[in-house]
Structure 1
Amino acid sequence: MRRPWLAVGLAALCVAVGIPAQAFAARPVVDMEATVLAAQIDPRRADHTLTPGAQSSVLAVEQALQAQNLLDAQWVDGYFGTQTVAAYAAYQRSLGYTGLAANGLPGTTSLTKLGLNRYTVANTIGPGAKVARDGFVVDARTQAMLTEAQRLLGYQLVLEQGSYNPGGDPTSAGTHDGGGVVDIAVTGMTAARRTSVARALRQVGFAAWVRDPSQGDWPWHIHAAAINDTDLSTQAQNQTGDYYLGLNGLANHGPDDGPRIPIKTWEQYQRGL
């Protein structure tokens, strides 16, 4: 038999001892993987199509941003568009974060703080520590992805540009300013091998393309951006979003010219999805 007085009594007790009553209610769960992915794809969409599997998580984040007076109610819709990215970046700055830590992509610490007494966070992800590779800097997550791509290929990959390189090659248009982005040297590779490398990189969770001199002021190379790396620069975020929308990640927004395989993140690859 239901006892409505029990709920009333519990609420009164919460007020008496200073504990919010909602602390005893089931809180929504924010899937960080899905939320970060939406923050990359949604701003690049021409419409308000929602990222599959992300709506409820994004909605909980937007409601929390609205409660902080950082997001207007009209944008609380489960779509992590440009308004939500800007609001989340403003929240990061309110915590004292700057640079890549205030890039509008949710990080574990900021996402958890935002959800205090509102939601819990699941499937946390992060770039890990910065490490050296081929004389460049990458993060640990990117290093692990490259190592797995090499295993699939059966040979070593050599970088010609790494991550965290602001003010580096101007032809990169800022994509290497943050984490998760590398350029692979292709000297001596046949066209077939270049395509094989791009395919292996895509398999493990990179948005990867073979770049040729006709596309810009650069030599042949393979450009790869690690999807869902929370240290991605804004420009690299845009590239990964374009990749999901079947584009080439260039300023001309041309069709994807790389090998077509099912798109997945590093974490999805690890889970065998």
Structure 2
Amino acid sequence: MRRPRLALGLATLCMAVGLPAPAWAGTSDSAAQHTLTTAARPVVDMEATVLAAQIDPRRADDTLTPGAKSSVLAVEQALQARNLLAAQWVDGYFGTQTVSAYAAYQRSLGYSGLDANGLPGLTSLTRLGQDRYTVGNTIGPGAKVSRDGYVVNARTQSMLTEAERLLGFRLVLDQGSYNPGGDPTSAGTHDGGGVVDISVTGMTAAKRTSVAKALRQVGFAAWVRSPSQGDWPWHIHAAAINDTDLSTQAQHQVGDYYLGLNGLADRGPDDGPKVTIRTWEQYQRTR
């Protein structure tokens, strides 16, 4: 019982000489230890971790996603501790092995479908890190809402609204999100959240490009699609980077976008307008 007396005495002494008392001063042994233990835990940056989970599986090498290594390592160590990931894959690289291990962890929690897509969601990421790490820079898709007769999530809606503000006119969807099997030509990209197709009816080529640019500026991987590229009419396809509800196919498109590719099966060079690639959250911090 010496710690409480010392702590109270130290707090009083600090006040007397005008210095701040330590955080544990005036607390019990157990409370002080809890404070110190919590403060010592690493912080997993959820934004960076989710981004790595989209980009790393698409890389041809083992280059790490900038700013994500320590967070990914903490997640991989937690997966290894649950015997879901072999030690050789605990390297700060959120590749296919880590995605598969994380999806297995999500299924162990009783999740299925989009909730077990291998992208860390806030609930699963927090539970995985219990007594190991804390979670910072949290993100989430928000509630499902209706737009132009289609379903999108609140995050996607906010991104579209900001793109409209930049453009000065309203955008109209001709396909939304959460539409599994609704369009065979979309190759499953619209099965989850964060993905929309924009109607370009009446738009000139220059206007189509300006729309794709605005969408990219606010955090979409966006491309103007032409009939020569597939069995579809002219439209703009957009996938919201770091939407944790993305289908596997849409995750791959986002990863390819970061790697300078066109998001199509041929993995050709990006043919869209050049912008600084940012997530929605990164864009908001620049405003």
Same fold (TM over 0.5): yes
Does residue 1:217 correspond to 2:225, yes or no?
no
**AA at the equivalent of 2:106:** Q
Does 2:57 match 1:43?
Answer: yes
Give yes or no for the alignment of 1:250 onto 2:264. yes
Tell me: CA distance 1:191–1:21, structure 2 relative to 1, closer, same or farther (3 Å): closer
Query: Post-superposition shift, 1:116?
Result: 0.2
Q: Deviations over 1:52-79 (max 9, x none)?
A: 0000000000000000100000000000
The aligned residue for residue 6 of structure 1 is none
Contact 1:36 1:230 in 2 (8 A): yes
In the alignment, which residue of structure 1 is the partner of 2:151?
Answer: 137
The letter for the 2-side match of 1:168 is G
Which amino acid in 2 is paired with 1:180? G
- Provide the residue aligned with 1:85 in structure 2: 99
Q: How does 1:115-126 map to 2 (within 5 A)?
A: 115-126=129-140
Change (3 A) 1:23 1:158: same
CA offset digits 1:74-117 (Å, max 9, x no partner): 00000000000000000000000010000000000000000000
Query: Which aligned pairs between 1:1-273 and structure 2 lie closer than 5 A?
Result: 23=37, 26-272=40-286
**Cα distance between partner residues in 1 of 2:119 and 2:133:** 18
* Contact map agreement 1:63 1:76 (CA 8 A) in 2: yes
Once the 2 structures are TM-superposed, how far is the Cα of residue 23 of structure 1 from its aligned partner?
3.7
CA RMSD of aligned residues (A): 1.7
Distance 1:240 1:156 in 2: 24
Matched residues in 2 for 1:75 and 1:197: separation? Answer: 40
CA distance in 1, matches of 2:176, 2:158: 14
CA distance in 1, matches of 2:162, 2:39: 42
**Matched-pair identity in %:** 84
- Extract unaligned runs of 5+ from structure 1: 1-12
Deviation at 1:21, TM superposition (A): 11
Give the aligned residue type for 1:76: V
Unaligned runs of 5+ in 2: 1-28
Q: Report the equivalent of 2:6.
A: none
Q: Distance in 2 between matches of 1:138 and 1:127?
A: 9
For residues 26 and 238 of structure 1, what CA distance do their matches in structure 2 show?
A: 35
Partner Cα distance (1:106, 1:224) in 2 = 21
Rounded Cα–Cα distance in structure 1 between residues aligned with 2:157 and 2:35: 45
Q: Please identify runs of 4+ aligned residues in structure 1 that moved more than 4 A.
A: 19-22
Whose radius of gyration is greater, 1 or 2? 2
How far apart are the structure 2 equivalents of 1:113 and 1:104? Answer: 15
Using the alignment, how far apart are the partners of 2:243 and 2:175 within structure 1? 17
User: SS at the partner of 1:237?
Assistant: helix
CA distance in 2, matches of 1:20, 1:161: 50
Aligned pairs, number: 258
Over 3 Å counting, the alpha-carbon distance change for 1:71 and 1:184 in structure 2 is same
